[in-house]
Structures are given as C-alpha cells and as structure tokens.
Chains A and B, each alone.
Chain A
C-alpha cells in the first residue's frame, strides 16, 4: 500500500508546487489523480518515484510510505527496485532501440530470464500489434504504438505499483479506450495497483476504483469513482455536463464567477 501524508514539494527550494497532498493507493486498486494543467499531478508522481531529484525538486515536508517504509528520501533506482515503476508522460520510448529491446530494458532489474521471456509473451498478448512490430525501430512507431510500448515496458518490470502519466495524451478516442481496457485487464489479471494521472476524467473514472481531484497543488475532492462521476462539480467542471434536464440560462451565467472555489 502506498500512502502519502501531507507532502509538500518545492522546486529549487523556492517554488512550492504541492501544499500538503495526502493520498492512498490500496493494493490491487486503480486510483485516478485528476485535475487541470499545472495542478501538480505529475509532480506528485515524480515525488513518489524519486525522479523529482533529477529536476531539482524535493519533498520538503510530509512523508511517503510504501509497504510500511518511508521512501521519500530514497533515489529513483531503489524505489524502482522496490516495485514502483512510472511511465513518463509523453511517450518516452528509446528511439534508436527496436520495440523488443525497449521492452527488455523495462525488465532490467530482473534476473530470471525464463520469467522475462514469459512476460514478454504476456505483453505481446496484451498488445498484439507490438509483436508484429518488435523488430522495428521504436522512434518510427506511431504515437499509439509508442504509448503501448511505454506501458508494456512498465509491465515488463513486474511492478507492484504502476504509475501512468496521461496515457491518453494525443491519442484517438478509440485507441484511448483500447489502452484503458488493457490497463484494466492488466490490473485484474496481475493484481498490480495502478496510479493514474489523467486529464480525460470520463475515461479515467471508467476504470478507476477511487479518485482524487487536484487543484493548485492541493487535493480538493476525493471519493470512489461512482461518487465522483455523480458529483455535480466534477460533472460540470471536468466533464462539461450541466445538471441534466434543466435548461441553462446563459444570462444568469456570469462566467467570470463560475470558477469553483473549493476551499
């Protein structure tokens, strides 16, 4: 179980981006972290995975616990080895390696070559297209294929917690659904917890068990996916739905005041 207790993160010791974020990922669950640009979602993930340190960021307060141990002072390799793997935002494939080599890099920290071979087949069964493309240079794959490769690479590490940063970024709606189905299947079949950062609230809540809404470096709302889906504010501000059935009078909409003040 991953637990963040009131963490604060500052870049360059000056720019504070997270102001006390607490969240929890239970074993085997899918948790979605939602919010607009600049809310601090990616920073939260990087704080967990330890990548913050390479960006001059630091967890200045609070604690991050993983399986009962504090990990907020550990570096990225140790955290990766302890079973938390992050797939970065924006398709960071290894452009000059072929697809299969990309996947093998994901399994770097594992020693058992038979299990690695099995998992390679498992990834290919989730993403049959990657099997056809496995000798192709990753840099020339399409955006969707690259995103599959990045997720497949994270799967190859056999993580206990997989953190995905906007897997739907820049993909066609059909492909988004396909990829989300696969994430869901992977979650149920291999019991891997998933922490998902997403702007596409609708699709994220379709597979998540629990969700957190972030704004300006704070968590402003959380609840089960069912609860969030039916929450009026989430509906209006993140899904673009107004209360069904009522006629919206645009005269009464003072849009400059329509921004929700959460706190």
Chain B
C-alpha cells in the first residue's frame, strides 16, 4: 500500500514537470503552428547551464536561477530570430524539420561544452523527506508539483487576459488577419519561443534537481510530446491534465510491472503505447480544439 501511495505521488509530481515542458510546446504550436521537436534538447541545455551557474561558477541559488531564466529568454529570441524567421511563409514542414536540426545541433553543443556524462545540482529544496501516510516522499517532488501548477495558472491568465496573450491565440487562428490588424507577427513568434525556452528551462531545473543531469534528460522532450498528444496539441488544460496521467502510468506501471517483466526499459515505452492508443481513438487528443468549420 505504501508503495502504491509513493508511486502515485512521485508519478503525479514528475507528470506535472512533463506538463510544464509540454506547455512550452503548446505555446509555440498555438501561435505559429510549428511542432517544436527540440524540447528535450532545450531541457538538457538549460539543465547544464544551470549546472554551470550553480556549481561551476558557484553562484547562489537566488542569483543563478534568474540568470538561467534570462539565458532561456535570450536563447528563445536567438532561435526565433536566426533559425525560424528566415523560414516564415515557407511550408510548415520545413519549419518543423528545422527544429529537428536544432535538436541535434544543441545536443552536439552540449557534448562539446559539458563533456561530462552526469552531474548533480546542489539541493536547493529542504532535504528532510515528508511522510504522507505510510509513504515517504522527498520534498523535490512536491515543490515541482507546486511550481508547475503556479506557472500553469499564470500562463492561463496571461493567455486569457493579456493583450499579447490574446494576440498570440489570434495568430494561431489566422496569421494574415493578425497582420492586417497591424500586429507584428514576428514579435509574437519570438515571444512564444521565449516562453517555450523558459518553460523547458524551469522543467529542466526541476527534473535535474530530482534525478541529476543525464543525457537521458533528452527523453523528457519525447515524454512532453506524448503529453501534448494525449492532451491535445493546442490545449493548456489538456497538457496540464495529461502530464500527471502520463507520469502516473509511467511510475505506477513500471513500478509494478518490474516484478513480472524482466525488462527495465518498459518504463520508457509505456507513454508511447499510450500515444498510439490515443491517436487511434481521439486523434485531437483529450482536450484538443476541434477545427471550427462552418459550411
């Protein structure tokens, strides 16, 4: 029983981080229709950058983390400005492919700058574990869940009420009409990439505070992708709900299956089995927007 509780709590918390990274995908998808395939690499890159700031440069936590966020904002700006903007008005497939190229580029850069295979961040959350019933959970998980939830709420409010947020949603609907209103669409794309980078940076910090920085962090990108597909490509709520589901299935499933199947990799496969099933039953995902078409 205590094992189940433990699996559920860690699964939900990890899932919330997936949601957070997935939100970065949704923001870009919603405003420009580009599927960003370099999420995992962005997570990896910003995790290593955090490592540089907190460990190699030895900065304190309250100085290092804002620097990471600023780094992510600049990174987002650079990606949009240099890589994606020249491709505006090109077929959407080219834009998606270029994000794939970006993914490998970042992976290469990371290997060059940080030739370590693994590293750990200093612990910045309180270390004493929390007892919930009979289960014992380290505080990182709970903090991760709370931070994800707060960011989700802030982001939802931004897209509901902020003028830029509304314009970003409008751009997703009709790019040309947005231009006709005199709105700079390039600014909107740039903003959405900044969001994506900041969200994956925070996701990366949370992930690596739990499990350390490993090359395997790249896989969180794929997991976030499965979250997005389950929740619906263009739905914030969907991403926020699908994340914990994926996390839960992953931890609980693998936790129990490990007793029966002598194949430790089952953990990484489970989310993708879910994608396949969802794609068959609900191709728009659980909360995806239906295309509005009046006849």
* Chain A positions near chain B (C-beta within 8 angstroms): 49, 51, 54, 56, 76-77, 79-81, 85-88, 92-97, 101-102, 104-109, 137, 139-140, 143, 153-154, 157
Contacts and interface: CB of A to CB of B under 8 A. Distances in A.
Given A54-B89, A97-B173, A85 B292 contact: no
Interface residues of B, number: 21
A104 B166 contact: yes
Which of B89, B170, B172, B184 has its CB near the most chain A CB atoms (within 10 A)?
B170
Contact of A51 (B166, B167, B176): B176
Q: Closest 10 interchain pairs by CB?
A: A80-B182, A139-B292, A92-B177, A94-B173, A77-B184, A94-B170, A95-B292, A105-B170, A76-B179, A86-B180
Contact of A49 (B172, B173, B180): B180
Contacts, number: 86
Given A80-B181, A157-B181, A88 B292 contact: no
A143 B295 CA distance: 10
Contact of B174 (A51, A92, A154): A92
A109 B289 CA distance: 28
Given A96-B173, A109-B182, 19 more contacts: A77-B184, A80-B179, A80-B183, A85-B182, A88-B180, A92-B174, A93-B174, A94-B169, A94-B170, A94-B173, A94-B177, A94-B178, A95-B174, A95-B292, A96-B289, A105-B167, A108-B167, A140-B292, A157-B182
A90 B158 CA distance: 30
Contact of B169 (A51, A86, A97, A139): A97
A216 B220 CA distance: 57
Contact of A88 (B173, B177, B182): B177
Which of A76, A85, A106 has its CB near the most chain B CB atoms (within 10 A)?
A76
B181 A106 contact: yes
A197 B180 CA distance: 15
A136 B292 CA distance: 13
A156 to B, nearest CB: 9
Contact of B181 (A56, A97, A101, A153): A153
B262 interface: no
Contacts of A143: 294
Contacts of A79: 182
21 contacts: A51-B179, A54-B176, A56-B89, A76-B179, A77-B183, A80-B181, A87-B180, A92-B176, A94-B169, A95-B173, A95-B174, A96-B289, A96-B292, A104-B163, A105-B167, A105-B181, A105-B183, A106-B181, A140-B292, A140-B294, A157-B181
B258 to A, nearest CB: 43
A104 B166 CA distance: 8
A76 B187 CA distance: 13
A88 B176 contact: yes
